[in-house]
Structure formats: structure tokens, C-alpha cells
């Protein structure tokens, strides 16, 4: 059985004062029937990990592919781990767009993450133009194949399907569209990794809210969610966790 996972991506949001939300979240959900992960900006990882004290997991939002070196402003997988992170989001569409990250770069970053013992959350997803052109599965298949390292397993890698047009827009695919992509991802993973393909958690992300979480979680091959805006407020994120755990 795949353990359910709810992950929050704070993106470029959060100052020290925001850590009060973490306390509220943990207090409201001391023992959820699922894994909970929060990925704050790098500046807050250490403080959040100290507060979480293992009750929820803490992750980064990106790492460099190199172990160390002359890369001003970048953060290595070892640094994330040292700060208290156990996971890292890689290949988010905002990084693919803002920083021109390619599938090959995402794969190299994922290899760096795995070699440091971090769990990699690799993001894939089509743009609206790609969906309109009927290219959704082709795009996602290519992203998955080229961004996922050969060393990936269900234990060290999570795949997040985030349609670009659903991120921060309040729009979501139909449940049939989510199921189509998640079933496709499962089949692709099985084709490449054999029986291990069944062990990867597949998260849906893009405008997940307390009001739509339950039906999304009941969809085929959805093992949890990657939540942006709604992860910034303990009440909303807690309600999403409750929808999965309950
Ligand atoms: P929203 O939940 O704000 O749509 O963001 C989704 C996302 O990009 C999470 O990584």
C-alpha cells in the first residue's frame, strides 16, 4: 500500500512569523493517517524543521545538481539535508519557466538529491496550449521519462502532476482528466521500473482546496496532493489533510 502524502509548497512566501502556522497545523493534526510535508523557502527550512521535530517532514523547493562549488545563490542537496530537509521539490513548472530548467537538468538535480538521501518530488504538467493541442500525455510522458533518474524507486521519488494552467488559477481539470494522466503515469512507471512502478506516490497539484480535496483524493491513482496557496494557512491545509486522512 502506498502511504498517502500531502505536501505544501510555500513558494516565495513566508517569513519567520509564518512559522506560527506550522505550530497550528501540528496542533490540529497531531497524528494524521498520512504523511505531511511542508516545503518553505530555504531561509525557513532550519527553523521549521526545529519546530516540526519530526512530526511533519520539511523539504526544499529546488537544489543544484552539483555537490558544491562556485554557484552563487544556489543551494546543494547536502545543504538542504544539513538544514533539516528530508525532501526536495524538483522541476516545478515555475522553475522550468523562470529558470529555463530542462528535463535533463531536473534529472541531474534529482540524481544529486537521491545521492544525498533526499526524497525527490519531481513535477510534470502540460500548459494549456499543449492540452488544447491534444499533446498532454506526450508532453507528460517525455517529462517523466527524461526527468526521472534510473535510480528512482517508490521510496526515494514522488511524481507530482501539476497542469500549469491549474496552478494558482482556481481552475482544476475534471476528475476524468486527472485520472487519465495519473493512470498514464502509473503505466509509464510500470513499463520502466516493473513491479516497483506500483510503489511510486503520484500527487495531484493545482488549485487543491478544502472544497475539492476529497473528490480529487478519491480519483484513480491519486496518492495525495502538492498544495500551493492553500498550504499557507493552517486551517486550509489542515482541512486538506483531514480530507485525505479521514
Ligand atoms: P496552487 O495550489 O496555489 O494552485 O499551487 C499549486 C502548486 O504549484 C504547488 O506546487
| CA distances in angstroms from 24 to 2, 28, 52, 226, listed in the order given | 27, 6, 11, 19
Q: Which residue has the higher pLDDT, 57 or 28?
A: 57
The pLDDT of residue 31 is above 60: no
Q: What is the CATH number of the domain that holds 193?
A: 3.20.20.70
Distance CA 103, CA 1 (A): 29
What domain range includes position 107?
A: 5-245
- Whether 162 is in the pocket of ligand 1, judged by its Cβ within 6 Å, is yes
Q: Write out the H or E segment, with its range, that includes residue 193.
A: helix 175-193
Q: What is the pLDDT of residue 244?
A: 87
Distance CA 159, CA 202 (A): 5
SS3 assignment for 60-91: ECCCCCCCCCCCCCCCCHHHHHHHCCCEEEEC
Burial bucket for residue 209 (CB in 10 Å: 0-12, 13-18, 19+): middle
Q: How many domains does the chain have?
A: 1
**What pLDDT, in 10s, does the model give residues 192-228?**
999 999 999 999 999 999 999 999 999 999 999 999 9
Residue 114: pLDDT band with limits 50, 70, 90: very high
Residue 6, beta-bridge partner list: 36, 225
Ligand 1 atom nearest to 11, measured from its CA: 10
Q: What is the pLDDT of residue 71?
A: 98
The cell 538544514 sits on which residue?
83
Ligand 1 atom nearest to 205, measured from its CA: 6
Mean pLDDT of the region 148-171: 98
Q: Work out the number of other CB atoms within 10 angstroms of the CB of residue 138.
A: 12
**What pLDDT, in 10s, does the model give residues 77-103?**
999 999 999 999 999 999 999 999 999
Largest Cα separation within the chain, whole Å, is: 47
The pLDDT of residue 29 is above 80: no
Mean pLDDT of the region 134-155: 98
Distance CA 233, CA 194 (A): 39
**Sequence-ordered list of residues with C-beta below 8 angstroms from that of 194, at least 6 positions apart, any chain:** none
Q: What is the pLDDT of residue 23?
A: 87
How much distance in Å is there from the Cα of 164 to the middle of ligand 1?
A: 9
Residue nearest to atom 2 of ligand 1 (CA): 228
In the set 92, 94, 111, 188, the catalytic residue is 92
Q: What is the pLDDT of residue 245?
A: 82
Amino acid at each position: 500500500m502506498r502511504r498517502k502524502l500531502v505536501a505544501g509548497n510555500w513558494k516565495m512566501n513566508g517569513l519567520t512569523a509564518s512559522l506560527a502556522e506550522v505550530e497550528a497545523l501540528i496542533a490540529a493534526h497531531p497524528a494524521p493517517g498520512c504523511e505531511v510535508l511542508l516545503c518553505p523557502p530555504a531561509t525557513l527550512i532550519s527553523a521549521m524543521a526545529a519546530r516540526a521535530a519530526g512530526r511533519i517532514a520539511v523539504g526544499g523547493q529546488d537544489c543544484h545538481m552539483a555537490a558544491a562549488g562556485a554557484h552563487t545563490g544556489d543551494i546543494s542537496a547536502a545543504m538542504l539535508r544539513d538544514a533539516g530537509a528530508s525532501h526536495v521539490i524538483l522541476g516545478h513548472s515555475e522553475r522550468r519557466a523562470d529558470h529555463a530548467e530542462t528535463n535533463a537538468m531536473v534529472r541531474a538535480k534529482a540524481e544529486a538529491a537521491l545521492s544525498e538521501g533526499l526524497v525527490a518530488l519531481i513535477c510534470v504538467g502540460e500548459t494549456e496550449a499543449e492540452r488544447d493541442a491534444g499533446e498532454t500525455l506526450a508532453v507528460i510522458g517525455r517529462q517523466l521519462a527524461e526527468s526521472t533518474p534510473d535510480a528512482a524507486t517508490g521510496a526515494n521519488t514522488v511524481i507530482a502532476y501539476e497542469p500549469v494552467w491549474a496552478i494558482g488559477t482556481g481552475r482544476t481539470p475534471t476528475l476524468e482528466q486527472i485520472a487519465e494522466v495519473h493512470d498514464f503515469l502509473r503505466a509509464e512507471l510500470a513499463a520502466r521500473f516493473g513491479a516497483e512502478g506500483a510503489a511510486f506516490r503520484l500527487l495531484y497539484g493545482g488549485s487543491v482546496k478544502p472544497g475539492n480535496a476529497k473528490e480529487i483524493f478519491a480519483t484513480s491513482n491519486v496518492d495525495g496532493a502538492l498544495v500551493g496557496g492553500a498550504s499557507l494557512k493552517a486551517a486550509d491545509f489542515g482541512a486538506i489533510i483531514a480530507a485525505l486522512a479521514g
